[in-house]
Amino acid sequence: MRRRDFVTNTALSSLAIGLTSQGQAQGRPAAQRAMRPLIMDAMGELRPEYSADVVRGMLDSGIRSITVTLCDPKPTGAEGLQAAIDGLTEYDRLVASNPRAYMRATKIAHIDEARRTNRMAVFYLYQNTVQFGTDLDRVDLFYTLGLRSCQLTYNDRNAVGAGCRAEGPLTDFGRKVIDRMNRIGMLVDLSHANMPTMAGAIAASAKPVHISHTGCMAVHKNIRNTTDENLKALANKGGVVGICQIRPFLTTKKTDNLDAYVNHIDHAVKVAGIEHVCIGSDRDHRVITLTPEYVAELKREEGSQVVESELPLFLEALNGPRRMEVVWSALEKRGYKSADIERIMGTNLYRLYRDVIG
């Protein structure tokens, strides 16, 4: 099921709930979880098929803000524009269907409200700029419709620059797009960009920029990961990098691999600084088993990008809705102080949203 293909789903009504607790999590005890500060996912997933237990697990883990991808980023031209419109409309329906768990978010005050009311503030992201075409006024249009964050590229080349599977720098039009996004308060996301386009965008932006979901190239070589040079440049401009939870980007180990994830966080902290790292899971929050049905679903969503030998995409310890508790505990075990864990889990991203989105 494509992320944008949110047809009317009977599961939605069951989410406007009586959400019930799942009991003790793998991470911190319940009394400590109640004291935990803001936890944010810089790029995660909400799906209409999520059960009440999945949503409750996400909430119990402390997540109070999540930024979601509105549609498949691969279509271009008129198809890409229609996908963007459909995806935004369908996410509006999804969020509105469960007001006790979700609230549509367009400003930092909505995160504060979500914390007070035990909900998730849901921010919108496109993973490409193809919906803008070459018309800068569309940036303003989608902002009016609720978009607050946008990647410059997906994997291939477009009008603004080059993705990780293409060559080329940021274009002149790309600089104009960044300038327009800066002026209206839309966050520039550099995930999936190649390193020259990323470097050019960091230099061109008058405001801090974001890499919402990536790994560290120095820890594990993968085309989707980010070099130390760009991590440093991002931090110098006040930006924040989100470390993703897509296993092939992080490690070749298919089991017993939580340490590999923390290694990427450690490295990003050492290179960019503790105030410039966050969590951007890029993962489904369900507990996934590699059944033929799930693999078929994944292939329908991602097409040829799915290579069965690279499965599972998830890290085994982070396979489920309460994984933020596991990350918190893993950082504690690695020796991080509570104040620094709070930065990584939420307050760094909160600061970025405050400074850029407002």
The pLDDT value given to residue 30: 41
The pLDDT value given to residue 302: 79
Q: What is the pLDDT of residues 73-89, one digit of tens each?
A: 999 999 999 999 999 99
Cβ contacts of residue 284 below 8 Å, gap of 6+? 45, 47, 314
The pLDDT value given to residue 293: 87
The pLDDT value given to residue 297: 82
The pLDDT value given to residue 294: 85
Residue ranges of alpha helices (H) inside the chain are: 11-15, 30-35, 52-60, 77-97, 108-117, 137-144, 172-184, 195-204, 228-236, 247-250, 258-272, 292-302, 323-333, 338-342, 348-356
The pLDDT value given to residue 248: 96
Which pair of structure tokens corresponds to residue 68?
Answer: 């979601």
Q: What's CA 279's distance to the chain center, in Å?
A: 8
Homologous superfamily (CATH) of 38-356 is Metal-dependent hydrolases (3.20.20.140)
Low-confidence residues of the chain: pLDDT under 70: 1-36, 304
The pLDDT value given to residue 36: 60
The pLDDT value given to residue 10: 27
The pLDDT value given to residue 308: 80
Domain limits, the chain: 38-356
